Amino acid sequence: MGNCIQGCKDYFSRQKNTNIRLTLPVVCFVWQIAMIILFGVFIRYDEESDTHWVETKAHENITSDIENDFYFRYPSFQDVHVMIFVGFGFLMTFLKRYSFGAVGFNFLIASFGLQWALLMQGWFHSLDPHTGKIYIGVESLINADFCVAGCLIAYGAVLGKVSPVQLLVMTLFGITLFAVEEYIILNLLHARDAGGSMVIHTFGGYYGLAITWVLYRPNLHQSKRMQGSVYHSDAFAMIGTLFLWMFWPSFNSAITDHGDGQHRAAINTYLCLASTVLTTVAISSLSQKTGKLDMVHIQNSTLAGGVALGTAAEFMISPYGALIVGFFCGIISTMGYIFISPFLEKTLKIQDTCGIHNLHAMPGVIGGIVGAITAAAASESVYGKQGLINTFDFTGDFKDRSVLTQGGYQAAGMCVSIVFGVVGGAIVGSILKLPIWGDPADENCFDDEVYWELPDEEEEHQESIPPILEYNNHMIHKQQDLSESNFSVEHCES
């Protein structure tokens, strides 16, 4: 009897309304107008992007325009920007029929998210108490992109199972939560996290996992035919992988200290990621009978090292230390895809489309731990007196903090990011469970057909008709020719 009810439920859930013609435009318009109003009230150029820069220069005795922060950070900003839009976007195109959704919705939510992030981060980090304004420059843009990254990670967990409206809601709350946890971790706890192992990856990972846990679909197997990749979709995904991998040194160094800080963060990340590739390949090969490699591992686990070095990249972790972190991350992340993901799905009912647990959540936690240990182990003999102060920003209220205390606060920061991710995700997931957002039925998941006008591929298929069908095909063409000539006749007679 209960089975019948289940059957009925299944039947009706098939009738899900995925018409978003009202909700999507309304959300886009209303939110964008709200952004314009809030930007009008709050956001201004900072002194380095304002025409008064010429006066600032004179006032602060700056001799050259090259001292403008733009020239320190803009190349890294552009690399990060590519990671957000091409990197995350194309990484998720691996599904055979969800490339439009992967790239397109990634584009949409990132574009909304960065605006909202400028406001949220501005209110928490850089609201001028006298003028009530937020002053933005190139570093603000990078931070906004970082903030968006947290939400795009979460998108990876629910890829193919939600509507664009749900994604926008998820992004709205995700950015909000991000700004709060970031404020607690970076400002209150005064933890360091330049590349965001904790703030971005751990938070984003658990946020997405908690949401997909709440949105669990017991009948997702009905979309199983759409859940794999095809040859070319895997090649597209490698575009995303490589742009993430190549530009990760810019990601981890984008907002670190000028000079040696940016320099060292880039070197560490470069080395760490190289090491990750080798161990990922090793474990992937071990996992198959004949040693064949699995594209899922190459596409994802090779990036785990960048995640795990997010916190420690600017520290004096030393080149071989970076290699060691990458070494273990490649192993752990690949093993995650082989053993943990199936376990999460079967036992914990967490359906994690892109395996963000293995690429972001776990390596993020490792990154937090590595950061805490490296900070606690820092010494004046290695860093130099001033170097230690600069690296950990032991100034102002924190000028007497010891490295051991710093290590403790780093660890505390990681806990904060996990709690925000899990609790926040669970709450937001519940909101997204409301039956008003136009999400697809279980049997239509991972299918662009639901939200996109797809090209009519008939013509292409005619081309791929095998030789023995040529005769029939020929007939079809003949008919077409006939109708065309009819058309011509009509055309002539007119």
Q: Per the structure block, which two tokens stand in for 122? A: 């501005």
Distance in angstroms (rounded) separating the CA atoms of residues 308 and 97: 31
CA distance 414 to 146: 17
Q: Which of 110, 101, 105, 109 is nearest to 83 (CA)?
A: 110
Residues in contact with a second copy, shown as a per-residue x/- string from 70 to 109 under the rule CB under 8 A: xxx-xxx-xx-xx--xx--xx--x--xx-xx--xx--xx-
CA dihedral (472, 474, 475, 481) in degrees, to 10, reads 160
Check binding of 278 to a second copy (CB under 8 A).
yes
User: Which of 386, 397, 399, 435 touches a second copy (CB under 8 A)?
Assistant: 386
Alpha-carbon gap, residue 155 to 213, rounded angstroms: 13
The conformation of residue 313, written as its DSSP 8-state character, comes to G
Chain-centroid distance, C-alpha 225: 26
Task: Report d(CA 295, CA 301) in Å as an integer.
Answer: 10
Q: Mark the segment that binds a second copy (CB under 8 A) among 239-247, 341-349, 360-368, 416-424.
A: 239-247
Q: Which of 43, 127, 180, 422 binds a second copy (CB under 8 A)?
A: 43
Asked if 399 touches a second copy (CB under 8 A), the answer is no
Tell me the number of residues near a second copy by CB under 8 A: 169
Q: Which is closer to a second copy, CB of 71 or CB of 343?
A: 71
Q: Which residues pair with 81 in a beta bridge?
A: none
Residue number with CB closer to a second copy (75 or 430): 75
Q: Hey, which residues does 135 pair with through a beta bridge?
A: 44
Q: Give the shortest CB-303-to-a second copy separation in angstroms.
A: 11
Q: How far is the CB of 365 from a second copy (least distance, A)?
A: 22
CB 371 within 8 A of CB 314: no
CB of 184 to a second copy, least distance (A): 27
Q: How far is the CB of 158 from a second copy (least distance, A)?
A: 18
* Contact pattern for a second copy over residues 349 through 378, marking x by CB under 8 A: ------------------------------
Q: How many CB atoms lie within 10 A of CB 310?
A: 31
CB 185 within 8 A of CB 418: no
Q: What are the CA-CA distances from residue 75 to residues 81, 135, 255 (Å)?
A: 10, 21, 12
- Name which of 264 and 357 has its Cβ closer to a second copy: 264
**If binding is defined by CB under 8 A, does position 243 make contact with a second copy?**
yes
Report the residue from 180, 239, 373, 419 that binds a second copy according to the rule CB under 8 A: 239
Verify binding: residue 254, a second copy, rule CB under 8 A. Answer: no
Q: Does 430 bind a second copy (CB under 8 A)?
A: no
Question: Which of 121, 202, 279, 358 is the binder for a second copy (CB under 8 A)?
Answer: 279
Q: Which of 67, 345 has the CB closer to a second copy? A: 67
CB nearer to a second copy: give 187 or 225: 225
**Positive or negative CA dihedral for 280, 356, 360, 365?**
negative
In the shown chain, the binding pattern of residues 165 to 204 toward a second copy, with x for contact by CB under 8 A and - for none, equals ----------------------------------------
Q: Which of 123, 124, 183, 383 binds a second copy (CB under 8 A)?
A: 383
Of 59, 343, 384, 434, the one binding a second copy (CB under 8 A) is 384
CB environment 388-409: b (16+ within 10 A), e (fewer): bebbbebeeeeeebebeebbbb
Residues from 286 through 325 that contact a second copy (CB under 8 A):
286, 288-295, 298, 302, 316, 318-320, 323-324
The helix or strand, by DSSP H or E, that contains position 98, with its residue range, turns out to be: none
Backbone angles phi, psi at 243, to 5 degrees: -65, -35
* Sites for a second copy among residues 106-135 (CB under 8 A): 107-108, 111-112, 114-115
Closest CA to 323 of 249, 270, 247: 270
